[in-house]
Amino acid sequence: MHKNPAVIVDGGHNPEGAAMLRDSLARYFPGQKITFLMGILADKDYHRVIDIVGPLAKQFYTVPVPNPRALDPGQLARELQESGYTAEACGSIEEATDKALKNCTEKDVICSFGSLYYVGRIREHLKADLKADE
| Rounded-to-integer distance, Cα 33 and Cα 12, Å | 18
How many Å from the N-terminal Cα to the C-terminal Cα in the chain? 16
Predicted confidence (pLDDT) at residue 134 exceeds the cutoff of 70 = no
Containing domain of residue 79, as a range?
A: 6-133
| Rounded-to-integer distance, Cα 32 and Cα 70, Å | 29
- Per residue in 6-65, pLDDT tens? 889 888 889 999 999 999 999 999 999 999 999 999 999 999 999 999 999 999 999 999
Is position 1 within any domain?
A: no
Is position 25 within any domain?
A: yes
Q: Give pTM, 2 decimals.
A: 0.90
At 20, which CATH number?
3.90.190.20
- Provide the domain count of the chain: 1
Is position 104 within any domain?
A: yes
Is position 32 within any domain?
A: yes
